[in-house]
Amino acid sequence: MNHMHIARKLISREGDVTPVVLEAMANTSDPRLKQVMTSLVSHLHQFVLEARLTEEEFEFGLRWIAALGHHTNESNNEVVLAADVIGVSTLIDLINNNGMQGETMSALLGPFYRGHAPHCVSGECIARSETPGAGLVFTGRVIGAQGYPVEGAVLDVWQASPVGLYENQDESQGDFNLRGKFTTDADGCFHFVSVKPAGYPVPTDGPVGDLLRAQQRAPMRPAHIHFIVYAPGHKTLVTQIFADSQDALLADVVFGAKQQIVGDFVRHDRPDVEFPGMKAPFYTCRYDFKLVAGTPSYPIPPISGKKA
């Protein structure tokens, strides 16, 4: 087979480039790859023409993209963060998860999901090292869209410490602090103990931080807890439950907050026999996750470990 591409003509003006490049890609055998690359190249060329990019701007942009790679390592994923702060991740989320079958709304995975979190027994506390903040008892059920309980669903939970950092970013936190996996019982119920989450800034020491400063944008995420809810026979749910003010939700730097997944965090000012061992003030939150039938999948963790 001859894979050599012979252009019909040499390029001499701006308008020649797009058709010649699309023609060069015309033999792509995977139809989906061909469709995606045709659309990408067409729109990218259109963007360059519309913005009339200078050579300096182009070089600056390429250096910025290379810096995303240089700031990506086992404990930080600047590429994911970049997609998040320009709203691309939220678009992808909404295209692929619309909640139309009654399932719980999804939310961004974000750059801080780690695989291999410890399996916990029901009721276990995921604060594994000294962690500030008010206690939190989080309970709920995993149910199918028709309301039946899902037994054996695994909830992979993670959150930032109220100091504003995930454990992978912070040498002072123990390995897997504020991360854990919980399994639902025969009634679909789960239960864990943690601390009430606080809002935090996304990392600003890399090229994404440079962009946010240039755009005069605050780097804050509203307080939330992340969940991956996995059960055989069901579509995997990747979501976050929010615990913050409307203003903080509106100011989410990654456009990830959704009204449907704001939790009802109830403050308790006195110890309560119903919640033994919880020192006042503490919070409780109950949230039921609804899954739809489907083929489960698992996201690839954007990071693998703690800061070296």
Contacts to Fe ion by CB under 5 A: 110
> By C-beta, is 159 or 184 nearer to ligand BEZ?
159
Region for residue 110 given its phi and psi (left: phi exceeds 0; alpha: psi -120 to 50; beta: otherwise): left
DSSP symbol at 294: S
- Report the nearest approach of ligand BEZ to the CB of residue 110 (Å): 3
Instruction: Tell me whether residue 123 or residue 164 sits nearer to Fe ion (CB atom).
Output: 164
CB closer to Fe ion, 135 vs 302: 302
State how far Cα 132 lies from the chain centre: 24
68 binds ligand BEZ (CB under 6 A): no
Closest residue by beta carbon to ligand BEZ: 110
Whether residue 243 contacts residue 223, with contact meaning beta carbons closer than 8 Å, is answered with yes
The distance of closest approach from Cβ of residue 167 to Fe ion in the complex, given in angstroms and rounded to an integer, is 12
β-pair partners for 230? 154
Q: Please state the closest distance from residue 190 (CB atom) to ligand BEZ, in A.
A: 21
262 DSSP 8-state letter: B
Say how far apart CA 283 and CA 195 lie, in whole Å.
8
* 3-state secondary structure at position 73: strand
Distance CA 162, CA 147 (A): 34
The CB-of-114 to Fe ion minimum distance in angstroms stands at 12
Stretch that binds ligand BEZ, among 56-64, 109-117, 168-176, 274-282 (CB under 6 A): 109-117
Contact in structure between 282 and 137 (CB atoms under 8 Å):
yes
The correct pick among 181, 221, 258, 306 for binding ligand BEZ (CB under 6 A) is 221
Bridge partners, residue 193, by sequence: 125, 137
Q: Where are the beta strands (DSSP E) in the chain?
A: 135-144, 154-158, 179-183, 189-195, 200-201, 220-221, 224-230, 237-242, 265-268, 282-286, 289-291
Near ligand BEZ by CB under 6 A, which window of 48-56, 107-115, 141-149, 282-290?
107-115
Report if residue 303 touches ligand BEZ, rule: CB under 6 A. no
Residue number closest to Fe ion, CB atom: 110
Among 81, 127, 153, 229, contact with ligand BEZ (rule: CB under 6 A): 81
Report in angstroms how near the CB of residue 60 gets to ligand BEZ at its nearest.
23
Site string for ligand BEZ, 25-64 (x = CB under 6 A): ----------------------------------------
Instruction: Select from 4-12, 104-112, 149-157, 180-188 the region that touches ligand BEZ (CB under 6 A).
Output: 104-112
Q: Shortest gap between Cβ of 254 and Fe ion (angstroms)?
A: 9
# residues near ligand BEZ by CB under 6 A: 9
Measuring CA to CA, which residue among 225, 227, 223 is closest to residue 238?
227
d(CA 274, CA 63): 57
Residue (of 210, 213, 254) closest to 63 by Cα position: 210
Site residues, ligand BEZ (CB under 6 A):
81, 84, 108, 110-112, 202, 221, 254
